[in-house]
Structure formats: C-alpha cells, structure tokens
Structure 1
C-alpha cells in the first residue's frame, strides 16, 4: 500500500524524533553509541510528490553516556562544536522509489565542510497531519576533517540512524 503524504509545509517534531550514531573503536572491539538531544528541521512537499527541507542537529548535544568522551567529541579533534555549533542535512530532493521508499539527495555539513549525501529512507504510514521517515546510512568522518585517531583505535565508518517525525506546519 502506497503511503500518501499531504502537500505543503512540514515541521520536525523534536520530541518524537531521534538521530543516533554508532562507531566501532578500540580497533573494532568496542561500539560507541550516542544520540543528539537537539534536533530541528522543516520540509516542503510539492504537488508532484517531491520534497525538500533541512534537518539540523546541535553538535554539542551528542550524548554517549560518558562525559569525558562527550567533551572530547565536542572538541576540535571531532565536531569542533565551539566553532561549528550545528550539523546540517539540507535535502535538495526527496523522491518516491516505491510504496514506502524514498531516495533523499542532499548535502551534509559537519565542521563547516559540506559533502553530497544520498540515502534511502522508509516512509512509515502517515495521516494528514503527521509522517515519519526512518533511515540508516554510513558516513566517513574523515571527509569532514575528523581525522583524530590515537594509535589507530578509531577506524571505519560511522553509522547514523534517524527516525524523524514531521507534523503539518500551519494549516
């Protein structure tokens, strides 16, 4: 069954949305997990069914459950949150692939570095006033100037998992 989405403006509901990271460290022996507490965003669905929008994360809001690690992640070695307080995913196009699949094309900006990013999301059943997109994709942190790697402990890609709940704006 194809999920129908109403046209017009949509606003991200930060209380019903999550963006989390997973990365293997210690030579692949330990998985570090964390989630962003500050999430914002908006979108626009056009009459032809295509969409655009923006999702913004507070770089300093990443919580891994370890204060010392979180402080290091906010530093210039990683997110450099003091100079680059936001991580942004700007959606240039979101097009239906099938009944519940959406190809999202845009750009990811971390630490002031912008790189193209394409991902596939799943559109969960929606009503006239709310919809949820879920996705999981990998990011190479080195593309964004995060090359810190003490003794080669931090290798590989970072997995981003997001569940983004949008509600109708205005209306």
Structure 2
C-alpha cells in the first residue's frame, strides 16, 4: 500500500485501538497475555512529513482476565501503577520506509524510567479521515526496573503489540 498521510493534528481513537502484551512465564511453558484498556494519544504530522506525538497507557488498566495476577502486575513488583500511573511512548520522529513500513523513533517510559525505543510499524490504512498503524516489538523489562522473578520463572523479553487508529483532531 502506498498512502499519503495528511498533515495536521491526529487524535487516538481508543475504541478502535489496542495495546497488548505477552510474556512467557513458568520457565517458558506458559504465555501470559494482557491488554491495556486505557489508552490515549495525540500526534502531529508536519508539512515536511515529520511526525511527533505521545501515546499514553493507563498502567492500572492491564487486564489478563485474572484479578489476582492483574493486582500483582499492577503492584510495585511489576508496573507499580500506584506510583507510576502512566506508561508513555513519546514519538521523536517517524520515517516512511519502503511500501507501508514506518520506522518510529521514540522514548518509552515505564515506572518513571525512560529508554530510547525504535519500532517498525505498518501503515495499514490512511485517508483524509484517519490512519491506522500496527506494530509489534520487544521490551526488556529489567531495563525499566521490573526485576521480580520468583524462582527464575520469567525470563526473556515482553512482546508488545499495538493497533493504533488516529482520526483528525481539532486544532
């Protein structure tokens, strides 16, 4: 697909967007999956084609369909949502690649710790009313101070998947 992304302000449509995580636990035998139900964001595409914006995730909105596990993941052992209620991805730049790929350079902040994060997204659709991006990338949780690992059951990276639908925003 070759589409032109219109310049201007864009608002994340939370009803058409999803951010999910999955992580292997129990020595890689079980995959824990969860979805963040509280997601918001804004972005701007400038006339020169550069893009910037911020995606904000409510850390306490993580839902794995298991209340006890969700409470633990929101605790200080993991996301520490009481002290760090937001996970943010601040886009510093985005560059169109071949076809429908977009390289996004940003800053991921989890538990108050920020790290550069580069992701490759796929531009699924773009028109004058909206645009949709899909991406999947991995995060090393220890880089964000998430070191809880009882009996060394949780090794390896956490995979983040996102479908983000943006619509025109009022100036």
Instruction: Give the structure-1-normalised TM-score.
Output: 0.98
Query: How far is 1:98 from its partner?
Result: 1.8
Deviations 1:110-136 (A, max 9, x none): 000000000100001211010000000
Runs of 4+ in structure 1 displaced over 3 angstroms?
Answer: none
Query: How far is 1:2 from its partner?
Result: 1.4
Matches within 5 A, 1:29-108: 29-108=29-108
Deviations 1:56-96 (A, max 9, x none): 00000000011000000010000000000000000000110
Residue 150 of structure 2 corresponds to 150
| Aligned residues between the structures | 171
CA contact (8 A) 1:3 1:124 kept: no
> Structure 1 regions of 5+ residues with no counterpart?
none
Query: How far is 1:27 from its partner?
Result: 0.2
Residue 3 of structure 2 corresponds to 3
Query: How far is 1:100 from its partner?
Result: 0.8
CA contact (8 A) 1:50 1:96 kept: no
Q: Distance in 2 between matches of 1:100 and 1:170?
A: 26
Residue 133 of structure 2 corresponds to 133
Instruction: Give the structure-2-normalised TM-score.
Output: 0.98
Query: How far is 1:5 from its partner?
Result: 0.7
> Structure 2 regions of 5+ residues with no counterpart?
none
